[in-house]
Amino acid sequence: MNNKHQVHNLIILDESGSMLSIKQEIVEAFNAIVTTMKKLAESFPEQEHLISMVTFNSLETKTYLHLNPLASLDVISGKNYCPQSGTPLYDAMGFSIGRLRNETSNSGKHNVLVNVLTDGLENASREYSGPAIRSLVDELKHSGNWTFTYTGADHDVERAALDVSIPNAIRFQKSKAGIDNFLRQELHGRKMYMQKVRNGEDVSTNFFGTNGKK
């Protein structure tokens, strides 16, 4: 019988055309996160980390993994990450968050960490509106076991995050140094998150520390 505490990690990665200018940096940062997530999980053997991942643009929202063991998360490359077209952020969030909510609703004690990574404002959703996403996020935050983070560039990141009720926001500059700075904060936040889950502490806010405004 598996008595481990389940932690669901949902990654929602922007694959719209505006990400093309930092395609290589995003690939490298994502792959660093993959490596670190796996190493961190080894330090928390009482936790079972499951991974779900989608990428999105106005052509399609692609599900790479869904409720898979963390070991299934692999690195990406320029061959399977191809930025193009518009940014249906709300649709991607509504689809992937709603699906995970439905499939974990009858689970035992568990936590869910949702990471949104985008470099632009919503401009192409057809099924979900900003207020609808805000309502969904509020509902799940109030359950006490869902945590949301928003990482962005080239727009008012804090305002965009608050518009959908996400308190954990961080800005990154579209440069190698900017990506490296974001990566340090993200990985530190993830380690502290796992520690808080272990200790039964509040994980809803301050994921990045100092509000992530750097």
What the chain holds in terms of domains, given with CATH numbers, is 5-212 (3.40.50.410)
pLDDT grade for 68, boundaries at 50, 70 and 90: very high
Mean pLDDT, residues 146-169: 94
pLDDT grade for 177, boundaries at 50, 70 and 90: confident
Nearest to residue 87, comparing CAs of 110, 65, 108, 118?
Answer: 118
Residue 53 has pLDDT above 90, yes or no: yes
Q: What percent of the chain has pLDDT over 90?
A: 72
Residue 125 has pLDDT above 50, yes or no: yes
pLDDT grade for 178, boundaries at 50, 70 and 90: confident
